[in-house]
Amino acid sequence: MEHLINQRVKAIEISGIRKFSNMVANIDDLVSFTIGQPDFPTPEHIKNAGIEAINTDFTSYTHNAGTIELRTAASQFAAAKYGLHYQPESEVIVTIGASEAIDIAFRTILTEGSEVILPGPIYPGYEPVIRMMGAIPVHVDTRDNHFRFTIELIKPYITEKTRCIVLPYPSNPTGVSLTEEELKEIAAYLKDRDIFILADEIYSELTYDYQHKSIGCFLKEKTIVINGLSKSHSMTGWRIGFLFAPENIAKHILKVHQYNVSCANSIAQKAAFEALTAGFDDAQLMRNEYQARRDYVYQRLQSMKLETVKPEGAFYFFVKIPGSLCLNSFDFALDLVKKTKVAVVPGSAFSEFGEGYFRLSFACSMETLEPGLNRLEQYLQIRQ
For 129, list phi and psi in degrees, rounded to 5. Answer: -65, -40
pLDDT of residue 13: 81
Is 80 exceeded by the pLDDT of residue 18?
A: no
**Residue 83 near residue 217 (C-beta atoms within 8 A):** yes
Residues 6+ apart with CB under 8 A from 372: 31, 33, 342, 364
pLDDT in tens, 284-322: 999 999 999 999 999 999 999 999 999 999 999 999 999
pLDDT in tens, 38-96: 999 999 999 999 999 999 999 999 999 999 999 999 999 999 999 999 999 999 999 99
Distance CA 279, CA 283 (A): 8
Query: pTM for this one?
Result: 0.96
Distance CA 312, CA 137 (A): 26
Distance CA 346, CA 334 (A): 9
DSSP per-residue codes, 323-383: GGG---HHHHHHHHHHHH-EE-EEGGGG-GGGTTEEEEE--S-HHHHHHHHHHHHHHHHHH
Is 80 exceeded by the pLDDT of residue 372?
A: yes
Distance CA 335, CA 95 (A): 39
**Residue 143 near residue 350 (C-beta atoms within 8 A):** no
Q: At 15, is the pLDDT very low, low, confident or very high (cuts 50, 70, 90)?
A: confident
First to last CA, the chain: 51
Q: What is the mean pLDDT of residues 336-365?
A: 96
DSSP letter assigned to residue 313: B
Preceding amide of 322 cis, omega within 30: no
Residues 6+ apart with CB under 8 A from 64: 254, 257, 258, 262, 263
Nearest to 238 by CA among 96, 41, 48, 363: 96
Average pLDDT, the chain: 96
Is 90 exceeded by the pLDDT of residue 341?
A: yes
pLDDT in tens, 129-169: 999 999 999 999 999 999 999 999 999 999 999 999 999 99
3 state DSSP class of 234: coil
- Residue 173's alpha-carbon distances to 10, 34, 297, 309, in angstroms, are 26, 11, 15, 11
Strands 357-361 and 345-346: antiparallel
Per cent of the chain over pLDDT 90 is 91
pLDDT of residue 23: 77
Is 90 exceeded by the pLDDT of residue 11?
A: no
Distance CA 271, CA 56 (A): 13
Is 80 exceeded by the pLDDT of residue 21?
A: no
Is 90 exceeded by the pLDDT of residue 252?
A: yes
Residues 6+ apart with CB under 8 A from 289: 40
Choice among 192-196, 202-206, 318-322, 323-327 with the minimum mean pLDDT: 323-327
Choice among 23-37, 114-128, 245-259, 303-317 with the minimum mean pLDDT: 23-37
Q: What is the mean pLDDT of residues 325-339?
A: 94
pLDDT of residue 19: 76
Domains of the chain: 2-42+282-383 (3.90.1150.10), 44-276 (3.40.640.10)
